[in-house]
Amino acid sequence: MLVNGDPGNLISIRDRGLLYGDGVFRTLRASQGHAAGWPLHFEKLRHDCAALGITCPDFNLLSSELETLLLSHPDGVVKLIVTRGSGERGYAPALTPPPPTRLWDISPTPVYPAEWAKLGIKARVCQLRLGHQPRLAGVKHLNRLENVLAAAESSDSGIGEGLLLDVEGHVIEGTRSNLFLVSGGELITPRLSACGVAGVQRDRVMDWAARHGMQVRVREVLLDELLMADEVFLVNSIIALWPIRELEQRRWTTFPVSHRIRQYLEGHNETQ
Amino acid sequence: MLVNGDPGNLISIRDRGLLYGDGVFRTLRASQGHAAGWPLHFEKLRHDCAALGITCPDFNLLSSELETLLLSHPDGVVKLIVTRGSGERGYAPALTPPPPTRLWDISPTPVYPAEWAKLGIKARVCQLRLGHQPRLAGVKHLNRLENVLAAAESSDSGIGEGLLLDVEGHVIEGTRSNLFLVSGGELITPRLSACGVAGVQRDRVMDWAARHGMQVRVREVLLDELLMADEVFLVNSIIALWPIRELEQRRWTTFPVSHRIRQYLEGHNETQ
C-alpha cells in the first residue's frame, strides 16, 4: 500500500475523503505485474477529478507509484483513491487547495464460480432505487452508500450481481458493473446522465461495437425491455463480462454476442 | 484526537468510512469542558447508525472518550465519526460485522461576525439541487458531496449560508443548517423524507414550540413561500440560530420569534 508515494496504510482522520467522501477512485486488475487498461483508467480519473474540482495528480507520478506497487504485488485488484486532501473544517473546499491525497492498495483477486463467465449468472433486482444527481452522475466518487445498501440486501452467494433501478424505474447498472442489452442486433446501454457510474469497460464495449459495425444506443431502459432482450450482460474491470442467465422469471441460454465481447475484453486489455 | 479510544489522528485506508462514506457523524460545540447536548447527539447517532445497519457504540464508552477529549481540549467544535469499520473488499458489509470505528476530533470554534446572530445573515440560494434518496434522508452520513459542491459555489465571506433546494424545487435546508419559517404565528420547517439532514437543533426548536403552544408544520416549502414568511432562520449546533435578513430581493428587519428561540437554544443547552 502507498500513501502519497510512501509505503503505508494510514491517512489523517481530517482527510476530506473520509469526512465527506470528497474524492474519486479506480479499480483495476493486475496480473503478472501489469495493470490492465491503466491509461484508460487514468483518463476516467482525470475526468472525475475535474467533475469535483479536484486537482488530478500527474499521470507520470501515478504511473510510477503503480509500478512500485506492482513490483512487490504483481497480481490482484488494485485500488487507487484520490481525495481533495486535508483542509480547514467545513464543506467548502479551500480556495488555495491542498495537494490531493493519493492512495494505492492491492487485494487478492476474487475467485468467482468458473461457469459465471461462460454460462451466465443469476441476477436480482435491488430494492433500493438510485436517486438522481446530475452533478455526480457517471463519476466514480467516494459517496457510495447507495451501493452499500443495495449490496447489503442479499447475502445469497448464488446471485452474481444486483441490478439497480433509479427512482423512475429505469434500469441503470449493476451494484458494481455496467449493463448492456443485445436486442435486434443492436447494443443498448442505460444513459447515465442522472445517476450511475460510467466505467472503463463500458467505453471499451462501445468501442468494440463501433469497430464491428454494431449500433449502440445509449438511452433509458425499462426492466420490461431488459427482460425481453436477446442477451443481457454486465461488465467491469475485475470480472470483464458476465452474461445474465436468470433474472426474475426470465432465462437466457445462449450468449453469442456477449461471448465475442468477453473475448475482446479479456484478450485485448491493452490494445484499444 | 482519539481513534478507537487511543490518542491518534490516523485510520486505515481500508476503513469503509473512507472507501464508501460508510459511516455517520455528529458535530457538537464544547465550552469549558462541556459538550452541549451530547445525550441528544447520541440519540441521533444511534438512529443514524440503525438507518445504515451499523452497530452503534455504547453510550458510556463514547461518553468516556468525549470526557477524555475535553480534558485536554475544553473548548471547540467536537466532531465524532462512527464508521462501519474495515472489512473485506466490496460494497457488501461483512455478515459478521467488524467493530465500528470511533473517531473524535476537536477544532477551534469558528468566529463569525457578531451581528449575524442578532441582525441576521445574508443568504443565497445554491444552484445545486439535492437529489432524492429516501433511504438516506435525514441521516447525517458521510456521503456529503452534495454539500461540498453547494458550498463550493460561492466564496463570498459576506454570505452566511447557502440554501439548498431539492430536484423538485422545494426548499430543504442550509448547506450546514436546518431551516424554519415563521408565518402567521406558526413555525414551518421542510419535510426531510426525501433528502436533507435532521439535526439536533431542529428537534430542539420543535420542542420549544410545543412547550410554548406554537404550532409546527413539517411539510413541503417552496421558495416563494419562504420569501413571503414573517421570519426565516437557520439552526445548527455550532451557530445556534441565525435569522436571515437578506435573500434575493427580500429584506427582513425584525426577528421577534427567532430571538426568543435563539435565547432558548443558547441558554438551555442541557435542560431538554
The pLDDT, as a whole number, for residue B121 is 98
* Interchain pair B143, A103: CB under 8 A: no
Q: How confident is the model at residue A58 (pLDDT cuts 50, 70, 90)?
A: very high
Give the residue from A1, A3, A12, A19 with the most B CB atoms within 10 Å of its CB, the best one to mutate.
A19
Residue of A nearest to B143 (CA): A143
What grid cell was written down for B250?
A: 427580500
Query: Which of B9, B91, B95 lies at the smallest CB-CB distance from A155?
Result: B95
Length of chain A: 272
What grid cell was written down for B165?
A: 433546494
Q: Which positions in chain B touch A5 (Cβ < 8 Å)?
A: none
Q: What number is the average pLDDT over the span A167-172?
A: 97
pLDDT at B140 over 50: yes
Residue that the C-alpha cell 452566511 belongs to: B160
pLDDT, tens digit, for every residue of A210-224? 999 999 999 999 999
More confident residue, B80 or A87: B80
Q: Which positions in chain A touch B145 (Cβ < 8 Å)?
A: 20-22, 52, 136, 141-143
Cβ–Cβ < 8 Å for A121, A160:
yes
* Interchain pair B20, A148: CB under 8 A: yes
Q: How confident is the model at residue A269 (pLDDT cuts 50, 70, 90)?
A: very low
Number of helices followed by number of strands (H, E) in chain B: 8, 16
pLDDT at A272 over 80: no
Q: How confident is the model at residue B271 (pLDDT cuts 50, 70, 90)?
A: very low
Nearest-CA neighbor of B238 among B78, B84, B126, B116?
A: B78
pLDDT, tens digit, for every residue of A70-85? 999 999 999 999 999 9
Nearest-CA neighbor of B150 among B123, B179, B129, B132?
A: B129
The pLDDT, as a whole number, for residue A164 is 98
Roughly how many angstroms between the first and final C-alpha of chain B, as a whole number?
28
The verdict on whether A122 is a catalytic residue reads no
Q: What number is the average pLDDT over the span A184-191?
A: 97
| Contacts for B50 with CB less than 8 Å, ≥ 6 apart | B56
pLDDT, tens digit, for every residue of B146-179? 999 999 999 999 999 999 999 999 999 999 999 9
pLDDT at B228 over 60: yes
Q: What backbone phi and psi angles, to 5 degrees, belong to B27? A: -130, 120
Residue of A nearest to B22 (CA): A145
CA distances to A44, A58, A85, B153, B162 from A93, rounded to whole Å, are 22, 20, 10, 10, 15
Q: What backbone phi and psi angles, to 5 degrees, belong to B14? A: -100, 5
Q: What number is the average pLDDT over the span A21-46?
A: 97
Residue of B nearest to A109 (CA): B89
**Confidence (pTM):** 0.96
What grid cell was written down for B72?
A: 485536554
Q: What backbone phi and psi angles, to 5 degrees, belong to B221? A: -130, 130
* Interchain pair B91, A21: CB under 8 A: no
According to the 3-state scheme, what is the secondary structure of B40-107? Answer: HHHHHHHHHHHHHCCCCCCHHHHHHHHHHHHHHCCCEEEEEEEECCECCCCCCCCCCCCCCEEEEEEE
Residue of A nearest to B134 (CA): A131
For residue B205, the surrounding DSSP H or E stretch is: helix B200-211
Q: Which positions in chain A touch B16 (Cβ < 8 Å)?
A: 148
| Contacts for A39 with CB less than 8 Å, ≥ 6 apart | none
Give the residue from B1, B14, B19 with the most A CB atoms within 10 Å of its CB, the best one to mutate.
B19
Q: What number is the average pLDDT over the span B22-33?
A: 97
Q: Which positions in chain B touch A132 (Cβ < 8 Å)?
A: 131-132, 167
